[in-house]
Structure 1
Amino acid sequence: MTQNHVSGMETSAITVLKRAVELDHSSRFQESLVCYQEGIQLLMDVLKAVTDESKRGHYREKIEGYMNRAEQIKAHVNQMKEDGKYHEQIRISEDATGYSYESLFKPYITSALTEVWVEDPYIRHTHQLYNFLRFCEMLLKASCELKRIHLLTSQDEADSSQQNSALAELKESLSAHGVTLDLQYSSTIHDREIRFDSGWIIKIGRGLDYFKRPKGRFSIGYCDYDLRQCQETTVDIFHNKHTKTL
């Protein structure tokens, strides 16, 4: 392994671990834990490539410190889950970027996830239907055993044909990937909530529709939602160990 490669891994580790500390200080513990684990792995890769014993000692010390903090966070999160007191809040500011569905939901998706409930009254218009499609794609790409997605939304009273045909096509497409889409409509639904059978509950003020319209079809952010500007909204994350019984 070249010195440049090692230096590059070390730079990446520093960037990820700096983000972990920032999230830790903001009490966004689950997200910080993901970053700590990623950063620790990068540092361990650096340690394997370094031969200078003084540098190896330095890296070992750093790794041990970050591992201890990660274990403390894990214990703290598990205790809050057990007590039913877990609550995290993320405030997405106007025009902020970096909040794709992958970035927002990944810290809460585990290999044990098999079932997801989406309650959102506004999966009706074209861009909202595409948002839901992207959310489903994100779940399919995640490291989990997804079997079923439940969608509760409201029917487009003005023109339900596009909504019905789009969701029927998505249902068929998901079925080809071994996932069942359970679709229900409600005329009284108001709240927006996403639940995982692993216990996580995510409430987003604007539901899945928190992205701004891109300036054009060939503007940055049109394809990559991490580069798409957001509308101001609040995300509340809870954990309920009894979610599977809902």
Structure 2
Amino acid sequence: MAKSGLGSDPESCAAVTVLSRAVKLDEEARYQPALVCYQEGIDLLLQVLRGTKDPAKRSNLRKKISSYMDRAENIKKYLDQVKEDGKYHKQIKIEEDATGFSYETLFQEYLNETVTEVWIEDPYIRQTHQLYNFLRFCEMLIKKPCKVKTIHLLTSLDKQGFGNVQQSSGLNEIKESLRTHGVLLQVEYSSSVHDREIRFNNGWVIKIGRGLDYFKRPQGQFSLGYCDFDLRPCHETTVDIFHTKHTKQI
């Protein structure tokens, strides 16, 4: 700790730990997590600064904060340019039983007023809980700031008797409900669909290993997580997020 010049109090130790992690990630060209660590470390340094009385130490802290802020700003500009160039890639690994991964949490960052059309490719929008998942996803899409007018769904047809009726009636009901909000739902079926992908016409592409069906069953109808998906445990899966200037239709 002596080499850092920040002291050995808990706040200083935490700042050094986080910023050391940021520098390591930065050197490995893992810029997105590095930026998060820089921002967290800067906040911790600001807390240390507020509790420091010695003028020399305060001056030293301000220099360190300024240096880290400059680096964080440069990384942010670089990532923004990467996004603009269509080369952005972010990967999120959802661990088994992890919580805090509702559709809003995953997608809200990529939804804005420019989103008017959405493509969903998911072979398993069949069973009751999968239809509810799709409905929740649609509910998110019609909220502000989105101005979604058309939703395209490509899925596989449930060929079982009751299952087929349930799938058809469920999707038709969602379609009619969306129509009352001025949104057109177009459903297509394919026996060969296997990819799971969501695309927005503002250029964002999200691939989820398990599609929309990555939530576990709630423990009961009156258990936490039944309504709020941020509290619902998840299955293990991986989310890959890309940006491209040219989103092709399914």
Above 0.5 in TM-score? Answer: yes
Given the alignment, which residue of 205, 225, 245 partners 2:209? Answer: 205
Q: SS state of the match for residue 221, structure 2?
A: coil
Change in 2 beyond 3 A, CA 1:142/1:74 = farther
| Post-superposition offset of 1:136 | 0.5
Residue 178 (structure 2) pairs with residue 174 (structure 1): yes
Q: How does 1:30-49 map to 2 (within 5 A)?
A: none
Q: How does 1:1-246 map to 2 (within 5 A)?
A: 29=32, 72-158=74-160, 159-243=163-247
Residue 122 of structure 2 contacts residue 194 of structure 2 at CA under 8 Å; is this kept in 1?
yes
Q: Structure 1 counterpart of 2:154, which letter?
A: L
Query: How far apart, CA to CA, are the structure 1 residues paired with 2:66 and 2:143?
Result: 32
Deviation at 1:84, TM superposition (A): 3.3
Return the offset for 1:140: 1.3
- Report the CA distance between 1:70 and its aligned residue: 7.0
SS of alignment partner, residue 141 of structure 1: coil
Unaligned runs of 5+ in 1: 1-17, 41-60
CA shift at 1:144, angstroms?
A: 1.6
SS of the equivalent of 2:133 reads helix
Equivalent residue pairs, number: 210
Deviation at 1:71, TM superposition (A): 5.0
* One-letter amino acid of the counterpart of residue 196, structure 1: F
Q: Percent identity?
A: 63
CA contact (8 A) 1:198 1:244 kept: no
TM-score normalised according to structure 1 size: 0.73
Structure 2's unaligned 5+ residue stretches are: 1-17, 44-62
The answer to whether the 8 A contact 1:199-1:244 is kept is no
2:55 corresponds to which residue? none
- TM norm structure 2: 0.71
RMSD: 3.6
Of residues 78-87 and 126-135 in structure 1, the stretch that sits farther from structure 2 once superposed is 78-87
SS at match of 2:123: coil
Greater gyration radius? 2
Counterpart code for 2:241? I
* Contact 1:28 1:89 (8 Å CA) reproduced: no
What's the secondary structure of 2:142's corresponding residue? helix
**Per-residue Cα deviation, 1:45-78 (whole angstroms, up to 9, x for no partner):** xxxxxxxxxxxxxxxx9x9999867754552233
Amino acid at match of 2:156: S
Shift of 1:109: 0.9
Q: 2:109 and 2:97 mapped to 1: Cα distance?
A: 23
Q: Report the 3-state secondary structure (helix = DSSP H, G, I; strand = E; otherwise coil) of the residue aligned with 1:207.
A: coil
Cα distance change on mapping 1:245 and 1:95 into 2, 3 Å: closer
